[in-house]
Amino acid sequence: MDEKPQWLVRQITLQDDFTLLHQMMNDTAKRFNPDPTFQGLSTTTDELKEEFSNVSLKNGFLAEQNGQIIGFMGVSLSPITKNGNIIFGCIEGYEDVLTKLIEVSIEVVRKNGGEKLYKFTFSKFGQIRNSEISLWEKFGFLSEEYSNVQILLHLDDWMEPEHFNNVNITLPSRDEYEAIKKLLIDDGESFISERMDDPASVLLTLRDEHTNEIMGLAYYHVDVEPKSSSQQENLSAYAFTLYFRPVFQWSKSEMQRLLHAALLSTKQLGVSHVITRITLKDFNIFALMIREGFDDFGIENMSTIHLYKKV
């Protein structure tokens, strides 16, 4: 009978070798990513170390065998939902150690008051099976029903509407933010609520003309594009999101009006590109954005599947 491997699992400290962990994370990402041109994650070694400097936001665990680090897992905690999202890396052939790392990560989420541990995996457009999805399902993770795709709009190529109607589209006051967060959570949409307090974010609301009730929202985050030393510094709008509340009846023209308002606001801020990762659950929104000029940049290899495990 084969002996059971002896694994030591401990918490990551700032004295650990983050260069090694960063390399392990990237090697693992390349191993599972379906895009043959994928060069690795954009996170730097210093940024990875910074992420683990505040354990209230991210916990990290190492797995060792005979003194060698064979895997690690980081758990970031949502201040809104209390759930966790994981990043990981492991040496090829040692994937079974993830069982132990998942166990300690689930305990972190449980103590935080969360209900789910999430893992985002890359997939090809329309793909529902690949080696990484199968790996996490082996550990008891379940796949969400719909995949997500990443698309981009070059604002220089965008045709602005000639006669834009901005009636009932407003910037909410800061005093409304907590109520909007609760509305989103009650609707089962926590993505925007988790990011609203970011000072670099923009939020627009479309309201009912009779009741002033929020019917839909547009959200994005503005940041400087990564660039080489020879490039001019440009701004991009990231995490661009449209949400149309299902309790209201929506026409395509009203949906387009909120989209136009959000895009016009990005141009006013000097943004060059708008980038979004959108769920195919909302196909009407996906089709709306494609008609508006959003395009893929490797869409066939830039889909993601969200998997989760209940704690």
Query: What are the pLDDT digits (tens) for 26-38?
Result: 999 999 887 777 7
**Domains along the chain with CATH numbers:** 8-148 (3.40.630.30), 159-292 (3.40.630.30)
Q: What is the pLDDT of residues 238-290, one digit of tens each?
A: 999 999 999 999 999 999 999 999 999 999 999 999 999 888 888 899 999 99
Rounded to a whole number, what is the distance in angstroms from the first to the last CA of the chain? 32
> Closest Cα to residue 304, out of 189, 95, 144?
144
Task: Give the whole-angstrom CA distance, residue 204 versus residue 240.
Answer: 11
Task: Give the pLDDT confidence score for residue 298 in this predicted structure.
Answer: 60
User: What predicted TM-score, i.e. pTM, was given to this entire model?
Assistant: 0.79
Task: Give the pLDDT confidence score for residue 297 in this predicted structure.
Answer: 61
User: What are the two backbone dihedrals, phi and then psi, of residue 217, each rounded to the nearest 5 degrees?
Assistant: -140, 155
| Residues pairing with 243 in the sheet | 217
Q: What is the pLDDT of residues 179-192, one digit of tens each?
A: 999 999 888 888 78
Task: Give the pLDDT confidence score for residue 2 in this predicted structure.
Answer: 58
pLDDT band at residue 75 under the 50/70/90 scheme: very high
Task: Give the pLDDT confidence score for residue 8 in this predicted structure.
Answer: 95
Least-confidence region, from 30-34, 138-142, 227-231, 289-293: 227-231
**Element spanning 238, H or E:** strand 235-244
Alpha helix segments (H runs only) across the chain: 18-32, 45-51, 98-112, 131-138, 177-186, 252-268, 283-292
102 compared with 149, residue with greater pLDDT: 102
